[in-house]
Structure 1
Amino acid sequence: MTDTAAFTHERTGDGDILRFSGSLSLARIGDLPDRLRTYDGNVDTVDLSGVERIDTVGAWLVHRFAAEKDAAIAGLDADSEHLLKQVEAADQPVAMRPERPGSIERIVGEVGDATVMAGKTLIGLLGFFGATVVALWNVTIHPSRFRFNAMVHNFEAVGVTALGIIGLMSFLIGVVIAQQGAVQLRQFGAEAFTINLLGRITLRELGVLMTAIMVAGRSGSAFAAQLGTMKLTEEIDAMRTIGVSPMEALVLPRILTVVIMMPLLGFFASIFSIIGGGLLCWIALNIPPVTFIQRLREVIPMTDLYVGLIKAPVFGLIIGMAGCFQGMQVEGDAEQVGLRTTSAVVQAIFMVIVLDAFFAVFFSSIGWL
Structure 2
Amino acid sequence: MATLNIKSFTTLVRDQATAIQSKANALLDFTIGSTLRSIVESNGGIGLWLQSLILQVLALTRAATSFGSDLDTWVADYGLTRLASTAAVGSVTYSRFTPTTSALIPIGSRVQTSDFTQTFVVTVDTSNPAYSATSGGYIIPATVSSVTVPVAAQNASSGSNVQPNTVSVILDSIIGVDTVNNSAAFTGGTDGESDGALRVRFVDYLASLARGTVAAIKFAISNVQLGIVSSILENVDHSLNVQRGNLTIIVDDGTGSPPSSLLTSVYQAVDAYRAAGITFAVFAPSIVSANVSAIVGVKSGYDVNSVKGAVGQVVTDYINTLGIGVTLSYTRLAQVIYDASPGVASVSSLTLNSGTADLVPTAVQVIKSGTVAID
TM over 0.5, shorter chain: no
For normalisation by structure 2, the TM-score amounts to 0.20
Higher relative contact order (CA 8 A, sep 6+): 1
For normalisation by structure 1, the TM-score amounts to 0.20
- Report the structure, 1 or 2, having the larger strand content: 2
- Report the structure, 1 or 2, having the larger helix content: 1
